[in-house]
Amino acid sequence: MTIIGGLSSYLAGLTGLLKGQVVISYDTGGVFSQWNLSAWDGVSAWKNLSNAPHYHTGGASDNTALNEIFERNTKLYFYNEMLQDYISTVSGTGATYSLQDDGTNVYRRHQTGTTTSGFSTAYRGGIKIDFANRITWAIAWKLSALNNEAFIFGPGGEAINVAANNNSKFGLEWCDAQAFARYYMMSGSGTARSLSDSTVATSTAIDGVKVIFQPADKLIYLFDTGVSVNKTTNLPTGNSLYNNILRTGIKNNNGGSANRELWILGNRLNGIAQGAEWPA
245 pLDDT band (50/70/90 cuts)?
Answer: confident
- Residues 83 and 139 grouped into a single domain: yes
- Residues 203 and 83 grouped into a single domain: yes
CB 189 within 8 A of CB 237: yes
Q: Which of residues 29, 46, 69 is at a domain's end?
A: 69
Instruction: Please indicate whether residue 267 or residue 79 has the higher confidence score (pLDDT).
Output: 267
Domain around 251: 76-277
- Residues 228 and 192 grouped into a single domain: yes
pTM of the model: 0.73
CB 90 within 8 A of CB 230: no
- Residues 29 and 47 grouped into a single domain: yes
- Residues 121 and 246 grouped into a single domain: yes
- Residues 95 and 64 grouped into a single domain: no
Number of domains in the chain: 2
Give the contacts of 269 (CB within 8 A, at least 6 positions apart): 77, 78, 79, 135, 136, 137, 155, 245, 246
- Residues 39 and 115 grouped into a single domain: no
- Residues 163 and 50 grouped into a single domain: no
Per-residue CA distances from 34 to 7, 28, 239, 269, 280 (Å): 9, 6, 36, 29, 32
- Residues 141 and 200 grouped into a single domain: yes
- Residues 148 and 119 grouped into a single domain: yes
CB 86 within 8 A of CB 264: no
Percentage, residues of the chain above pLDDT 90: 50
- Residues 44 and 80 grouped into a single domain: no
Q: Which of residues 42, 69, 96 is at a domain's end?
A: 69
Model confidence pLDDT, tens digit, residues 198-226:
999 999 999 999 999 999 999 999 999 99
- Residues 264 and 200 grouped into a single domain: yes
